[in-house]
């Protein structure tokens, strides 16, 4: 199934279920609880075609969603959902066609519980072809 069809199918399922979904080619550990400070891979868009992809993720400690583009930016929001004294954030990493890391950027942290931060990362390198989004708390 190509990326566009896969995205459409997952997005439709998310809308119909009313929940958050991890979108195309995402490697997520839904429902797992990462150790403090650990990063959970939310989405990995492995394509040599320029484009943008929506992503979303939910953990016991927080949630986040947005749109990542390669090349381009990652824009979205992050929310702290647990009164544990830790803050929730996302990290975006851009890679070239050979998976050499070009840049990484961490969003503003959301805390305390129920705090939401909106973000837009700085632009990636023009030759970025892969993007990975992570969520963590510390």
Give the model's confidence band at 12: pLDDT under 50 very low, under 70 low, under 90 confident, else very high.
Answer: very low
Name the least confident of 18-22, 82-86, 89-93: 18-22
pLDDT tens digit sequence for 40-55: 999 998 766 678 899 9
Strands (E), 10-100: 39-46, 51-58, 62-70, 74-80, 88-95
Name the least confident of 33-37, 57-61, 62-66: 33-37
| Domain carrying residue 41 | 3-137
Give the chain's domain count. 1
Helices (H), 30-136: none
């Amino acid at each position: 199934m190509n990326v566009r069809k896969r995205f459409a199918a997952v997005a439709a399922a998310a809308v119909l279920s009313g929940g958050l979904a991890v979108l195309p080619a995402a490697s997520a550990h839904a429902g797992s609880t990462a150790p403090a400070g650990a990063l959970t891979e939310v989405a990995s868009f492995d394509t040599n075609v320029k484009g943008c992809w929506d992503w979303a993720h939910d953990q016991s400690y927080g949630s986040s969603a947005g749109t990542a583009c390669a090349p381009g930016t990652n824009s979205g929001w992050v929310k702290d959902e647990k009164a544990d004294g830790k803050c929730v954030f996302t990290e975006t990493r851009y890679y070239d066609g050979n998976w050499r890391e070009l840049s990484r950027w961490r969003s503003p942290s959301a805390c305390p519980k129920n705090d939401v931060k909106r973000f837009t990362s700085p632009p990636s390198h023009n030759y970025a072809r892969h993007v990975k989004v992570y969520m963590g708390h510390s």
